[in-house]
Each structure stands twice: as structure tokens, then as C-alpha cells.
Amino acid sequence: MVQRMTDEDSDLILMSKKGRMEAFRKLVEKYKKPAFFMALGLVGNRDDAYDLSQEAFIRVYRNLSRFNPRHRFFSWFYAILSNLCKNHLRGRQVREEYVRDRQNTADCGHQENAAPGPDILLEQDEASRRLWQEIERLPFEFREIIVLKNFQGLSYKEISAMLDIPMGTVMSRLYHARKKLKDNLQTADGMRAYEV
Amino acid sequence: MKCEEIRPWLMAYLDGEIEQREKSEVEKHLADCESCRREYESFARLKEVTNRMRFADLSDQLWAGYWKGVYRRIERGTGWIFLSIGAIILLAFGAYQFFKELLTDPHVSLVVKVGVSACAFGAIVLLVSIIRERLFLFRTERYREVER
């Protein structure tokens, strides 16, 4: 669960702006876990998630002067992290397409994933692995909202603030994301347990 | 409410994020509409499975080294900035001295002076063009750091 913005955060940001690295370290220590797990949900690879979440903190440090204290720190941080992950996934997709073109693969529907997702899960049963594979195939916006709701356990209000979208949009996006996931699972082989 | 209107509210009902008034409407609709009831049940089964899924945690060693990684990269970034500034100052000064001596040296032929000056002018034009392009991209880049 993402911690709420506190007076302590405001003080830490203020001190970090003045160049106090110890204050910034405390901020990083406080938010490193939610940052890493959110990145992990978005990119599906531990090494990349570790690297991207660190990069997001570095960009935050370089742009501290642009932070508006009226907003929550983590919402601002998440916008930076989310964009980094989006760019990373786009780059990965381009690389995968390039490799596919070179290999001249006949099976165009097969997705060669450079980052094997299921090993990031605690439970290694077939159902969880299959579900995670389908989550990874969702469009970014759908995957993002499922990660925030189901894996991070954020409330609708928190998601609304985090993504800067109205509550109604949170509900409808979540509906379409879950529906697409459900439909994909129904059409996938070996998913009798989730047939609905 | 119609089925299309009720669907987003099914999510709020499922996640326990619904107010009493909407909750009553959703329950009434589910009691009357078999199609929505079946859909709701399938969402409930899906939620049950996704709720069981958890990401595996990193080792304590990796967590312990997290801040050091961030700090090192900030430090190196700062180092590169100062190194670049210093190099630019030295290069600019060196170029100025070189051209000053070259253009005032009576032993260097006019052809060489014109050639070197043309090269220098071309390099400056290219540099300005690249900087201008970079500035334009920076202003219009969709995915640069977001400010809220």
C-alpha cells in the first residue's frame, strides 16, 4: 500500500531541494518498495523494474524544483515512473519486432517476450502463470489499472489521484480492463477453471 | 439503470467501493437481470484469482543496495555535467586562441585562413542547428518528465 503524503514528506522534499542528500535518501527508502513493485507490474521483469524505479528517483531529484507542493509526492513520482515504463515497453516492442523480422518467423501471433514474466510471481502454479501472461498482453492503460487495483491494493480515490482521472473513468477503465482480461482467458487454452 | 450504465458500478460493488444508494440500485438490477448477474459472478471469480497473486520480493541484499545505486547514478550524472562544462570552456578557449594566432600570423597563406575559417563557420552553423532541434524536441517531447 502506498503511504499517504505526510508533513514528513513535505519536509523531506523541502530539505532535498536544498541539496540535503540525507533527506532525499529517506524519501527513497520510504517509497522504494511501492516504486519497484509498480514498475514490476508494468514491465514484468525484475531487473528492468529495479533499474527503472531507480531512474525515476534520479529524475525526481533532478526535477525537484518543478514539484508542486500542493500535490502528493507519490502521484508526481508515479507519473514519471509510468512514462519511463511506457517508453521502456515501447523500446522492447520495437526490439522484439526487429528480431521477429530478422528471424522471419511464420507465426506472427506468437509474442517473443524478452522478459519472462511468471518468475516474478510468488505462486508458481499454472493458473497464476497463465493469468499473468494475459495481464502482460493487455494494453498499457488496462494493465496499469489492474496492477494499481489488484496488486497494489489502491482505493479508487487513490487511483484517481495517481492517474489524474475522474472516479467514473477509474470504474469504467477497470471494467473494460477486467472484461478484456476475462475474455482473453476464456479464449485461451487450458483455462477451464476461469470459464464463465 | 440500464445494463450499460450499471457495468462500471459493478466494479465498485465488487471492490466494496460503493455508496449505499448505488449499492441498492446495483443489487436491484442484479436481481432482475440474469445477463449482468452472470457477468458479475464471472468478475468475482476473476477477482478471487487475481487477489491470490503476489509478486515475489527481492532479496534483502538488493534492497540494501537500492539507495547506493540511486546515489551513485546521481553522483555520476553531476560529475558528467561538470566534466562537460569544463571541457566546453577549455575547447572554446583553445579554439579562440588557435584562430586568433592563425588569422594574425603573416606566414600562413590566405587560402589556408579562408579554408579554416569556412570550416569553423560550418561547424558553428551545424552546432546551432543541432541545439535548436534539441530545444524544439525538448519542448514538444510527450514523455519527458511530467509536471502536475
Secondary structure (DSSP) of B80-98: HHHHHHHHHHHHHHHHHHH
Closest residue to B74, CB basis, from A40, A58, A119: A58
Write down the H helix ranges in A44-166. Answer: 46-62, 73-103, 126-137, 140-146, 156-163
Question: CA angle at residue B78 from B77 to B84, to 5 degrees?
Answer: 90
pLDDT tens figures, B11-35: 999 999 999 989 999 999 999 999 9
Chain-chain contact of B47 with A127 (C-beta, under 8 angstroms): no
| pLDDT tens digit sequence for A111-157 | 444 444 557 887 767 778 888 889 999 999 999 999 999 988 899 99
CA angle (B53 as vertex; B47, B58 as ends), nearest 5: 150
Question: Using one digit for the tens of pLDDT, what is the confidence trace for A8-40?
Answer: 888 899 899 888 999 999 999 999 999 999 999
Task: Considering only the beta carbons, identify the residue of B15, B56, B143 that sits closest to A86.
Answer: B143
CA-based radius of gyration for chain A: 19
Q: What's CA A75's distance to the chain center, in Å?
A: 13
- State which fold the A1-115 domain adopts: Rna Polymerase Sigma Factor; Chain: A (1.10.1740)
- Nearby residues of B43 by Cβ (< 8 Å), 6 or more positions away: A178, A182, B10, B11, B14
Nearest to A57 by CA among B136, B74, B119, B20: B74
To which residue does cell 543496495 refer?
A: B65
Whether pLDDT at A109 is above 60: no
C-alpha B58/C-alpha A120 separation (Å) is 10
- Which residues does chain A have within 8 Å of residue B47's beta carbon, measured at their own beta carbons? 150, 178
For B53, the closest of A79, A123, A171 (CB atoms) is A123
User: Is B83 or A9 the better-scoring residue by pLDDT?
Assistant: B83
Domain ranges of chain A: 1-115, 118-189
- Pairwise CA distance, residues A171 & A154, whole Å: 13
**What does the CA dihedral A8, A10, A12, A16 come to, rounded to 10 degrees?**
180
A55 contacts on B by Cβ (under 8 Å): 73
Domain count, chain B: 3
DSSP 8-state symbol, A66: G
pLDDT averaged over chain B?
Answer: 88
- Residue among B51, B54, B70 minimizing CB distance to A57: B70
In Å, how far is B29's CA from the nearest CA of chain A? 17
Q: Which of A46, A54, A75 to mutate to test the interface with B (most CBs of B within 10 A)?
A: A54
pLDDT > 90: percent of chain A: 51
Q: Roughly how many angstroms between the first and final C-alpha of chain B, as a whole number?
A: 36
If we measure between CA atoms, which residue out of B118, B122, B78, B8 comes closest to residue A62? B78
**Are both A1-115 and A118-189 of the same fold?**
no
R_g of chain B, CA atoms, integer Å: 33
Q: How far is CA A154 from CA B25, B73, B80, in A?
A: 25, 30, 39
In Å, what is the CA distance from B6 to each residue of A3, A183, B10, B30, B43?
A: 32, 19, 6, 9, 14
Q: Which of A151, A148, A16, A134 is nearest to A73 (CA)?
A: A16
Q: Can you give the pTM of this predicted structure?
A: 0.76
Q: Which of A2-16, A85-99, B47-61 has the lowest mean pLDDT?
A: A2-16
Distance separating the N- and C-terminal Cα atoms of chain A: 30
The per-residue pLDDT for B3 is: 87
The domain in which residue B38 lies consists of 3-52
Give the number of other Cβ atoms within 10 Å of residue A175's Cβ: 20
In this complex, do B74 and A83 lie within 8 Å of one another by their Cβ atoms? no
Q: Which residues, 6+ apart, have CB-to-CB distance to B107 below 8 Å?
A: none
- What are the residues of chain B with a beta carbon less than 8 Å away from any beta carbon of chain A? 7-12, 15, 17, 38-39, 41-43, 45-47, 49-56, 58, 62-63, 66-67, 69-71, 73-74, 77, 143-148
What is the C-alpha to C-alpha distance for residues A128 and B57, in angstroms, rounded to an integer? 16
Options 1.10.10.10, 1.10.287.3510, 2.40.30.20, 1.10.3720.10; CATH for A118-189 is 1.10.10.10
- Of all residues in chain A, the one with the smallest CA distance to B4 is A172
